[in-house]
Amino acid sequence: MALLILISVVFSVNFCSFVSAYDLDPLQDLCVAVQDSNQSAVFVNGRFCKDAKLANADDFYASGFNVSGMPTPTNLGFSVNALNVNRMPGLNTLGISMARADLEPFGLISPHIHPRATELILVLEGTIYVGFVVPDTRNPFKSRLFDKILHPGDAFVIPQSMVHIQYNLGTTNATHLSSFNSQNPGVHMISYQLFGSNPPILDDVLVKGFQLDKKVVDHLRAQFSSKS
């Protein structure tokens, strides 16, 4: 496990060196994010910057990735321990973040996208099925699936904004690290956003859009809107 974590760190560094970051290039050497402005703060890339003279090593440090994160409020069986600009202020404007995902046996990270980042997955433990779909340029009603079964030490990259999933195929826990070329990649959980929106999307839109019976839509809305 220790060796794989070391490999993942090296992999992340190399990943950032050859991927053109989606986030804007830094305008200054340091832009440690602060929540509130003051007389010495400069507003850069959506966050106020701490006076560089006041920055310290703790702004560029985080720990706690030897354990899983808090379970998500779903019955899907996964948890995420994220490291982004909200947790490490020194990431501000650097165009990089990461996350640890832990999946219970047969746990699923359901279809989702990261609107601002490409994701590079490195499996540390277990057997994980990953895949993303790309629209058919000749027919927008069809798509092509790119999928793979990953084992410890395997890596897989998911292009920015592509719908993708991760699924634990095994009977034991699985863990992977993800690197993103954005300080705040964002996540859109598709089924939850469509069937759990507030206020709800019109029934007829979901019935027709997904070719479902009204009772099925009602059932799905009850399932997804009850999560928080």
d(C-alpha 100, C-alpha 82), whole Å: 6
Domain enclosing residue 31, as ranges: 2-186
In a domain, 203, yes or no: no
In a domain, 169, yes or no: yes
According to the model, what pLDDT value does residue 13 have?
45
In a domain, 15, yes or no: yes
Position 108: which residue type?
Answer: L
In a domain, 173, yes or no: yes
Q: What is the pLDDT along the chain (228 residues), one digit of tens a residue?
A: 554 444 454 444 444 444 444 566 666 678 888 876 665 556 655 678 888 888 999 999 999 999 999 888 788 999 999 998 889 999 988 889 999 999 999 999 999 999 999 999 999 999 999 999 999 989 989 999 999 999 999 999 999 999 999 999 999 999 999 999 998 899 999 999 999 999 999 999 999 999 999 999 999 999 888 655
In total, how many domains does the chain have?
1
d(C-alpha 156, C-alpha 30), whole Å: 31
d(C-alpha 8, C-alpha 167), whole Å: 20
Rounded to two decimals, what is the model's pTM?
Answer: 0.81
**CATH number for the domain that contains residue 143:** 2.60.120.10
Residue 176 annotated in ligand binding: no
In a domain, 8, yes or no: yes
Measure Cα distances from 198 to 47, 115, 147, 157, 204 in Å: 28, 21, 33, 33, 16
Residue 114 annotated in ligand binding: yes
In a domain, 55, yes or no: yes
In a domain, 221, yes or no: no
In a domain, 195, yes or no: no
